[in-house]
Amino acid sequence: MANAELGPDRGYRRRVAVTGLGVVSCCGIGKDAFFAGLNGPAPAGEHRVRDFDPSLWFDAKEARRVDLFAQFAVAAAEMALEDAGQLDVDPALAGIQIGTGVGGLSTMEAQIGVLLEKGPRRVSPFLVPMMMANAGGATVSMRLGWRGPCETITTACASGTHSILAGHRLIATGRCDAVLAGGAEAAMTPVALAAFGNMTALSTSGQSRPFDVRRDGFVIAEGGAVLVLEELERARARGAHIYAELLGGASTADAHHITAPAPGGAGAIGCMELALEDAGLTAGDIAHVNAHGTSTPLNDMAEADAIDKIFGRPGPLVTSIKGVTGHSLGAAGALEGVACALSIDRRLIPPTVGLEQQDPEIHLDIVREAPREWEPGPVLSNSFGFGGHNGCIVLAPLSG
């Protein structure tokens, strides 16, 4: 098989390139604005995507019938495709993997209000297709006419990372030649904000401070991001710009608690170890870890313990972009996948904004205060979600 390597499972698999990036975030829309935002201060106030203009992708009638999370998915997918250039792919070999944590929650909440105030006959007939978690990927598929696997992974805050990993598998095994992979979320509704607040998950200070001794919860955010994944030799043959190679990854479950991580980061440790094995690397090969780093007391500590146990001290450079992006739930891992690809391509690691007083119990080499220039090497990106879902992917500069 051309352009194939013997994988850890002893089966042959094709190599996977990242050739396009699209992003919608509270710190910037489009890859350039997004990366500039990661290297600046945290946005003031709520972490909504304030400058999003749906008319760039939808006419007025369409926009009324597509929930905001799905609009983010379409916008990110179309930006990623434009970035990738002339991607002439057989529609039957073109897949879509776009995850979300909750799907069309804003539509659901609004229509419950309609039901209570005006009765069942006034509930919108578009409620079901707008609230479906799979609406983001389905809308992208119909727009493009891509007929390969179109699937939605919903594993809470690991959804975006698991979707990228699923896209990798589709290409590596030969099922697809190209995949749009990522996540989208727009869950900042009154009920969601109240629920997260009442479970004490949100920061009462309104600041995301990953790994800081004063961290007191996450800052919820909106966002969406999509990566174009492509079989490597195909990408080379058409002269595509290759941001990074997606080497592999892993998925595990803590099987411990619906919201709290396993003690000592046991689940995270297993997932990271399997991701390294799948990528054909050892711990010493990793140059940078893009941490999940949500700014919650338990999760940051568990992840820090896990990184410490696998990589030792001082270990690789670590950053969390959630000090700027906030936590966009099912889209978070996709935003972080884009950040990793850009960090490799632009030879610059964004800082962990909000980290001023590092927790003395956290012994990581964290990039803080300013971006860090580096010689790009393999990057491990972590995502850990409610329900005990763990997802890790490994990206690296293209070699060979």
Tokens of 272: 């990271």
Buried b (16+ CB within 10 A) or exposed e, 65-76: ebbbbbbbbbbb
Shortest CA distance to 338 belongs to which of 4, 2, 37, 10? Answer: 37
DSSP character at residue 294: -
Q: What are phi and psi of 319, to 5 degrees?
A: -145, 155
Rg for the chain, CA atoms, rounded: 20
**Is residue 302 within 8 Å of 212, Cβ to Cβ?**
no
d(CA 188, CA 202): 12
Which spans in the chain are helix H?
31-38, 60-64, 68-84, 105-118, 127-131, 135-144, 159-172, 190-198, 232-237, 266-279, 297-311, 322-325, 332-346
d(CA 293, CA 306): 12
Residues annotated as catalytic are: 157, 292, 327
How far, in Å, are 39, 69, 71, 79, 353 from residue 63 at the CA level? 32, 11, 8, 17, 34
Q: What are phi and psi of 260, to 5 degrees?
A: -85, 145
